[in-house]
Structure formats: structure tokens, C-alpha cells
Structure 1
Amino acid sequence: MISGLQPAELLDLLQWPAMITTIAAAWLVASKQADRRHCGFWLFILSNVLWIAWGVQAAAPALIAMQLGLAAMNIRGAIKT
């Protein structure tokens, strides 16, 4: 345990890096430069993974389903850029 936090509490903190990653990805995807957009899609995919991990521990099936759908779109975007 880090700083006396239980594993579930540590996973609950995962929503903050997931949120920051999502915002950074949105910023990059809006870029006019193709390499930044490509990086943004990969960051979105990372944020999908983080949100799914958080959703599993929070028992949020709708969030998990949404992130799987968004991940599919982000993979498509990454391939097309």
C-alpha cells in the first residue's frame, strides 16, 4: 500500500490521469500537424484503457461499453492519420 491507501482507493485515483490524458489527446487531435493528431489518437487509446480500468473497479458497465466504442473509433483514427 502506498501512503496507507487500499488497492481500491489507488484504482479510484486512476480517474485523474485518465481525465488529463483525455484532455491532452483532444488537444493534440485538433492540431493541424498530422504527427500531433496521430499522437493524439494514441493518447486517446491510452485514456480508453485507463477509463476501462477505472470503470471495472467502479462497476460502471455503461462507461466500459462507451470506452470500448470510443477505442474502436480512436483505432480507426490512428490508422487513418
Structure 2
Amino acid sequence: MTDLLDALQWPAMAVTLVAAWQVGSLSRRRRTWGFWCFVLSNVLWVVWGWHDRAWALIGLQLGLFALNLRGVLKNDQAPAQQQPG
């Protein structure tokens, strides 16, 4: 079990990179998938951090989750861009 938890950092890293790529998309659908990938990466990093006693990493992941959630909420509430003229 310890080997599995040690190896968890690699899929966590891969999911984080996929999430970052997706949230940079112009497509709302891809950005939504990116958000959920970030949530999954946060969970994976917290599990790995708990196992490795990386408390700062756990705190970082909780903070990043909160910032991502804030971004999604603000994005949903943003007014439509106004056309000039």
C-alpha cells in the first residue's frame, strides 16, 4: 500500500497538468472539465500529502481549491461582454 501511495504523486502531477491545459481553453465545456480535473488533482495531492505528512502541500491544495471555486463562481456571474457602439 505504501508503494501505491508513493506513486500517487505521478498521476496527481499528470491530472494537474491536464487541468491547467483545459482551464486555459476558450471553450466553456473544456474549462468546466479543467475545474473538475483540478478538484481531482487536489484530492490526489491531499491523499499523497497526508501519507507523506506534507502539511504545507495539503494547505496549498485546499487554498488552490478555494481559488478555483472562486474563479468558477466569478466566471458564471460575469456579465456578457458588451459590443461597442
Correspondence list, 1:1-80, <5 A? 7-79=1-73, 80=75
Aligned length: 75
Larger Rg over CA atoms: 2
Q: CA deviation at 1:72?
A: 1.0
- Runs of 4+ with >4 A deviation: none
Note the aligned Cα RMSD (angstroms): 1.1
Normalising by structure 2, report the TM-score: 0.82
Question: Structure 2: how far apart are the matches of 1:51 and 1:78?
Answer: 21
Q: Percent identity?
A: 55
Please list every run of 5 or more consecutive structure 1 residues that lacks an aligned counterpart in the other structure. 1-6
Higher relative contact order (CA 8 A, sep 6+): 1
